[in-house]
């Protein structure tokens, strides 16, 4: 992958779809009142008047495809995520999960405009920020003579580990700006085969083993073979694992070309409210641009007049020569988690965060306090926070976890959603922890705009209103 510094890009204004129903939608631009397009003719002609705009949808893209005539729309998904829809020659990009008021996002777009970034999809804007920050060309490459590059074989997923049980008096700690800060450190721009040697930078195929049990381990006890960064292998040795190198790849040409980009990232994340949340998503998404895999699924969905979907699998760009960079960054984050986070007493970790008894970790940020944690497995848990105690309320917890209510977390589900609670209930019942009884607030409805799809036209009224569906 070769990246070149870019100059200021041509500006185009932004427009936002904020509410929809089957026969109408609301679209709004900065500085103008919302515009209601009602009826098929008005929807069609109205949208086409935004040809020179970057158009974003604050509502679910799949549901947008049922506004007017389903045959108008083409929906593009990447790994099951709705990325954009096409309406004629207009691309509409997803911004679901950032509220329904475009004015809350205006600081983000103002910042990009001042930095010379053209509005587009999140991935495109993320890469544009990188190129705009470079002061010299950046070439990332893995040298390999035959077979397959090692980069795509290294793990990208963060660690998610847990010790099932019931705990009291805990805190949630995380590594601030974990992936962007790892990207801002010096890294190798070239990866090439090496000898059986512990290099400062690079990847290795190795066997790791440990017999110990009874504490939170990054990988199960026993022996396993895989590909890891040298940084993570060193952290595993410090954690008590036996490590044997089988094959190595040395990282050379160490540079820190993303230091200026990191300053921009910090400014984006410091924006207020939903604008800062969007800035955080864009900065974190940058790492994913270097993590493409050949098995990624890119599809286009078209619809018949009655809404029947037809899915076509498309080719997607894949650059195996730069995949090692994404793997190194993931390995560096896991190494910091293992070395600093999985200290004695930790009972849960996920990617860049840990739950452990009250303490301070140098360079880490406390994101929450937990009075009680119930964890049937590493896949799901529920907890009561200490906000009411700290803010001198008359309740233990907060309005979302007082009494018989809890905060629910589950892998693959939005925190606090019906899906998260359901996942906990299933794990809880399997263990037979006394049945669900009064401990679970059965029947509560999540109204978050990030909640998983419940199917078009079948949402409870409150949840549908929160997502801009009339």
Q: Are residues 306 and 397 in the same domain?
A: no
Average pLDDT score over the chain: 86
Q: Does residue 388 form part of some domain?
A: yes
Q: Are residues 90 and 21 in the same domain?
A: yes
Q: Does residue 74 form part of some domain?
A: yes
Q: Does residue 203 form part of some domain?
A: yes
Last residue of a domain, one of 334, 362, 380: 334
Q: Are residues 236 and 296 in the same domain?
A: no
Q: Are residues 357 and 400 in the same domain?
A: yes
Q: For 96, which DSSP code?
A: T
Q: Are residues 389 and 354 in the same domain?
A: yes
Alpha-helix runs per DSSP H in 49-164: 61-64, 106-114, 122-133
Which residues partner with 56 through β-bridges?
16, 93
pLDDT, one tens digit per residue, over 359-397 is 888 899 999 999 999 999 999 999 999 888 787 776 778
pLDDT surpassing 70 at residue 458: no
Domain that holds residue 273: 2-136+258-319
Q: Which helix (H) or strand (E) holds 310?
A: strand 309-314
Q: Are residues 192 and 327 in the same domain?
A: yes
pLDDT, one tens digit per residue, over 137-184 is 999 998 887 678 888 888 888 899 999 999 999 999 999 999 999 999
Q: Are residues 352 and 453 in the same domain?
A: yes
Q: Does residue 266 form part of some domain?
A: yes
pLDDT surpassing 70 at residue 442: no
Mean pLDDT of 278-290: 89
Q: How far apart are CA 19 and CA 100, in angstroms?
A: 8
Q: How far apart are CA 111 and CA 400, in angstroms?
A: 34
Q: How far apart are CA 18 and CA 9, in angstroms?
A: 27
Q: Are 287 and 180 in contact (CB under 8 A)?
A: yes
Q: What share of the chain in percent tops pLDDT 90?
A: 66
pLDDT surpassing 70 at residue 54: yes
pLDDT-based confidence at residue 470 (cuts at 50, 70, 90): low
Q: Which long-range contacts (CB under 8 A, 24 or more apart) does 458-466 make?
A: 466/100
Q: What angle do CA 78, 10, 77 make, to 5 degrees?
A: 10
Q: Does residue 163 form part of some domain?
A: no
When comparing pLDDT for 399 and 435, which is higher? 399
Q: Are residues 103 and 241 in the same domain?
A: no
Q: Are 246 and 209 in contact (CB under 8 A)?
A: no
Q: What share of the chain in percent tops pLDDT 70?
A: 90
Q: Does residue 391 form part of some domain?
A: yes
Q: Are residues 107 and 34 in the same domain?
A: yes
Q: Does residue 166 form part of some domain?
A: no
pLDDT, one tens digit per residue, over 291-341 is 766 677 889 999 999 999 999 988 776 677 788 999 999 999 999 999 999
pLDDT, one tens digit per residue, over 67-101 is 999 999 999 998 878 999 999 999 999 999 899 99
pTM of the shown model:
0.83
Mean pLDDT of 251-275: 94
Q: Are residues 309 and 437 in the same domain?
A: no
Q: Are residues 360 and 327 in the same domain?
A: no
In terms of Cα–Cα distance, which of 87, 89, 67 is closest to 75?
Answer: 87
pLDDT, one tens digit per residue, over 391-417 is 777 677 888 888 889 999 998 887 888
pLDDT surpassing 70 at residue 467: no
Q: Are residues 362 and 220 in the same domain?
A: no
Compute the Cα dihedral for 167, 171, 172, 173 and give only its sign: negative
Tokens of 73: 């729309």
Number of domains in the chain: 3
When comparing pLDDT for 446 and 192, which is higher? 192
Question: What pLDDT shows up at residue 71?
Answer: 95
Tokens of 187: 């890294």
Q: Does residue 246 form part of some domain?
A: yes
Q: Are 365 and 352 in contact (CB under 8 A)?
A: no
Q: How far apart are CA 188 and CA 325, in angstroms?
A: 8
């Amino acid at each position: 992958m070769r990246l070149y510094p870019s100059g200021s890009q041509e500006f185009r204004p932004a427009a936002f779809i904020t509410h929809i129903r089957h026969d109408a939608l609301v679209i709004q631009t900065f500085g103008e009142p919302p515009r209601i397009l009602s009826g098929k003719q008005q929807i069609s002609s109205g949208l086409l008047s935004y040809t020179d705009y970057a158009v974003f949808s604050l509502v679910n893209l799949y549901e947008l495809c049922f506004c007017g005539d389903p045959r108008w729309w083409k929906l593009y998904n990447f790994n099951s995520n709705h990325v954009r829809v096409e309406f004629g020659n207009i691309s509409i990009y997803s911004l679901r999960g950032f509220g329904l008021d475009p004015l809350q996002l205006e600081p983000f777009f103002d910042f990009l405009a001042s930095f010379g970034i053209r509005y587009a999809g999140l991935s495109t804007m993320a890469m544009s920020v990188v190129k705009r920050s470079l002061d010299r060309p950046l070439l990332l490459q893995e040298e390999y003579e035959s077979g397959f590059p090692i980069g795509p074989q290294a793990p990208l997923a963060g660690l998610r580990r847990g010790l099932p049980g019931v705990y009291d008096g805990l805190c949630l700690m995380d590594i601030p700006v974990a992936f962007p800060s790892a990207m801002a450190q010096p890294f190798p721009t070239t990866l090439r085969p090496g000898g059986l040697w512990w290099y400062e930078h690079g990847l290795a195929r190795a066997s790791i083993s440990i017999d110990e049990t009874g504490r939170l381990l990054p990988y199960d006890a026993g022996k396993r073979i895989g590909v890891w960064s040298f940084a993570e292998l060193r952290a595993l040795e410090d954690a008590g694992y036996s490590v044997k190198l089988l094959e190595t790849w040395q990282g050379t040409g160490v540079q820190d070309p993303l230091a200026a980009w990191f300053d921009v990232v910090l400014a984006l994340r410091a924006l207020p409210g939903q604008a800062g949340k969007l800035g955080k998503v864009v900065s974190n998404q940058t790492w994913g641009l270097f993590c493409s895999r050949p098995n990624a699924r890119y599809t286009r969905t078209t619809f018949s007049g009655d809404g029947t979907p037809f899915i076509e699998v498309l080719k997607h760009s894949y650059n195996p020569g730069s995949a090692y960079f994404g793997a190194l960054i993931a390995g560096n984050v896991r190494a910091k988690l293992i070395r600093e986070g999985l200290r004695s007493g930790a009972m849960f970790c996920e990617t860049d965060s840990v739950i452990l008894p009250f303490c301070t970790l140098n360079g880490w940020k406390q994101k929450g306090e937990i009075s009680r944690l119930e964890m049937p497995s590493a896949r799901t848990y529920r907890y009561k926070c200490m906000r009411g105690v700290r803010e001198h309320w008359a309740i233990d917890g907060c309005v979302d976890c007082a009494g018989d209510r809890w905060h629910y977390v589950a892998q693959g589900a939005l925190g606090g959603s019906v899906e998260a609670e359901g996942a906990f209930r299933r794990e809880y019942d399997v263990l037979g922890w006394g049945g669900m009884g009064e401990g679970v607030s059965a029947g509560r409805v999540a109204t978050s705009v990030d909640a998983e799809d419940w199917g078009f036209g079948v949402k409870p009224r409150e949840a549908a209103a929160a997502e801009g569906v009339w």
